[in-house]
């Protein structure tokens, strides 16, 4: 992907280990729990960093990194059972999916910045990647901050009511600690509260026609609850595709 600029932001692929370390530092800041001390030198890194492409969104004025995520193409050398998400979910159903698949992971925005254009730009970049590489399924883990599922019951009720994965693709349980919201929740849905509780990235997935697993993984290491999330590219509403493509020169 060639670099480009849009408004005050520029987008490029990481070129060297210094770029990747900058992303790892931002991830460490973004993923640190509220109230926990931060360490400017600490890196959030794992073995997948070596096999992924890292997308960087930078502020053209300050030069600072404001958003990053990584892309892992699923292929013969990296089958879906070796993806990051497969550590937590049993994904054998998706092995039958016809078409190219890509995992988007470690998505984060600088905690100091509240600009919705960054998220829109990130999705526009993914739209370009999907188009250029004939991708048919985009997937990843969407995280709720903290480990208290009670904070998100309305959001989980909304996912159960409207956004569960089709049976033919649905991930099964693998992680030792899960919240089975599709089985445990039977409550009247407060739609306003549910939408307010949805993480921004997950909300964008759902706007694209996305679907989720029927359970959330309790990730004690990251101190999050997360759901497997997938978007079948052919199911994205045409109007959404046009809007995203228009953001990329």
pLDDT in tens, 15-39: 999 999 999 999 999 987 544 545 5
Q: How far apart are CA 75 and CA 170, in angstroms?
A: 20
pLDDT at 35: 43
- Mean per-residue pLDDT, 159-174: 96
41-55, 64-78, 184-198, 220-234: lowest mean pLDDT where?
184-198
Domain assignment present for residue 42? The answer is: no
DSSP state letters, 9-35: EEEEE--SHHHHHHHHHHHHHHHSPTT
pLDDT at 184: 76
Going by their DSSP bridges, the two strands 224-232 and 211-212 should be labelled as: antiparallel
Domain assignment present for residue 181? The answer is: yes
Q: How far apart are CA 141 and CA 89, in angstroms?
A: 10
pLDDT band at 152 (very low <50, low <70, confident <90, very high): very high
Measured N-to-C along each axis, helices 200-207 and 116-133 cross at an angle, to the nearest 10 degrees, of 50
Domain assignment present for residue 110? The answer is: yes
In the predicted model, is pLDDT for residue 188 greater than 80?
no
> Quick one: what percent of the chain has pLDDT higher than 90?
80
Average pLDDT score, the chain: 92
> Quick one: what percent of the chain has pLDDT higher than 70?
96
pLDDT band at 101 (very low <50, low <70, confident <90, very high): very high
Q: What are phi and psi of 192, to 5 degrees?
A: -60, -45
How many separate domains does the chain show? 1
∠ CA 70-73-76, nearest 5°, is: 145
pLDDT band at 190 (very low <50, low <70, confident <90, very high): confident
Domain assignment present for residue 12? The answer is: no
- Mean per-residue pLDDT, 67-74: 98
Going by their DSSP bridges, the two strands 224-232 and 178-179 should be labelled as: unpaired
- Mean per-residue pLDDT, 118-147: 94
Domain assignment present for residue 8? The answer is: no
Domain assignment present for residue 14? The answer is: no
- Mean per-residue pLDDT, 101-129: 93
Domain assignment present for residue 32? The answer is: no
> What is the extent of the structural domain holding 113?
71-246
In the predicted model, is pLDDT for residue 247 greater than 70?
yes
Domain assignment present for residue 173? The answer is: yes
Q: pLDDT tens digits, residue range 204-231?
A: 999 999 999 999 999 999 999 999 999 9
């Amino acid at each position: 992907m060639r670099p480009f600029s849009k408004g005050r932001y520029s987008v490029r692929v990481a070129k060297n280990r210094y770029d990747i370390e900058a992303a790892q530092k931002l991830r460490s800041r973004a993923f640190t729990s509220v109230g926990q001390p931060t360490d400017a030198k600490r890196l959030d890194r794992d073995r997948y960093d070596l096999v992924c492409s890292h997308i960087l969104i930078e502020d053209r004025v300050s030069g600072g990194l404001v958003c990053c995520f990584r892309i892992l193409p699923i292929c013969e050398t990296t089958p879906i059972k070796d993806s990051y998400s497969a550590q937590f979910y049993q994904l054998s159903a998706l092995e039958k999916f016809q078409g190219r698949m890509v995992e988007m992971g470690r998505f984060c925005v600088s905690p100091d910045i509240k600009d919705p254009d960054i998220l829109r730009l990130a999705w526009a970049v993914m739209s370009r990647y999907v188009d250029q590489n004939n991708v048919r399924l985009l997937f990843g883990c969407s995280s709720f901050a903290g480990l208290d599922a009670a904070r998100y019951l309305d959001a989980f009720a909304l996912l159960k009511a409207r956004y569960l994965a089709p049976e033919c693709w649905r991930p099964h349980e693998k992680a030792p600690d899960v919240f089975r919201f599709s089985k445990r929740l039977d409550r009247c849905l407060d739609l306003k509260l549910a939408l307010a509780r949805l993480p921004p990235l997950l909300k964008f997935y759902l706007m694209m026609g996305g679907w989720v697993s029927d359970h959330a993984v309790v990730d004690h290491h990251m101190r999050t609850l997360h759901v497997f999330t997938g978007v079948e590219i052919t199911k994205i509403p045409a109007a959404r595709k046009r809007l995203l493509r228009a953001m990329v020169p």
